[in-house]
């Protein structure tokens, strides 16, 4: 019984871990273009960030959870089609998986972590 605990602890210690990077947050004051491509699985949102004057393009992974994807896509569509002034906040995070020696190589994945749309007064 005690031996099983040590085996489980050793197995958990060797399990792949993920290294998280800090979240990158983009707050767009205006959006001028939205591009979806099936080539690399990314969407590109171009616009002017809050408190800036130079156009910026943010890359978003549409491979994130389907709930997040659907919600964010509908927010962006609303911002582009409904008259009004909005702030669109998007957050992405790069996560690199690590593995034990002799295992598969690490992989890097871009995740969409937040999507918020608010109407400016």
Q: Quickly count: other Cβ atoms within 10 Å of residue 23's Cβ.
A: 12
Instruction: Report d(CA 47, CA 80) in Å as an integer.
Output: 11
Question: Above 80 in pLDDT, residue 20?
Answer: no
CATH placement of domain 16-119: 2.40.50
Residue 89 is predicted with a pLDDT of 87
Q: Tokens standing for 11?
A: 């197995």
Q: Where are the domains of the chain?
A: 16-119
Instruction: Kindly tell me if the per-residue pLDDT of 52 is higher than 80.
Output: yes
**Which run of H or of E encompasses 73?**
helix 66-81
- pLDDT: is 69 or 97 the higher one? 97
Q: What pLDDT is recorded for position 15?
A: 37
Do 33 and 46 form a contact (C-beta atoms < 8 A)?
Answer: yes
Q: Measure the N-to-C terminal CA separation of the chain; round to a whole number of Å.
A: 65
pLDDT above 60 (res 87)? yes
Residue 106 has pLDDT above 50, yes or no: yes
């Amino acid at each position: 019984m005690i031996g099983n605990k040590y085996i489980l602890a050793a197995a958990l210690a060797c399990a792949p871990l993920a290294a998280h990077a800090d979240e990158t947050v983009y707050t767009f004051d205006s959006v001028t273009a939205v591009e979806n491509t099936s080539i690399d699985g990314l969407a590109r949102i171009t616009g002017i960030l809050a408190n800036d004057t130079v156009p910026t393009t943010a890359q978003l992974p549409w491979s994130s959870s389907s709930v997040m994807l659907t919600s964010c896509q509908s927010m962006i569509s609303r911002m582009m089609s409904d008259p009004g002034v909005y702030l669109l906040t998007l957050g992405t995070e790069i996560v690199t998986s690590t593995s034990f020696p002799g295992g598969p190589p690490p992989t890097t994945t871009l995740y969409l972590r937040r999507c918020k749309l608010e109407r400016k007064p």
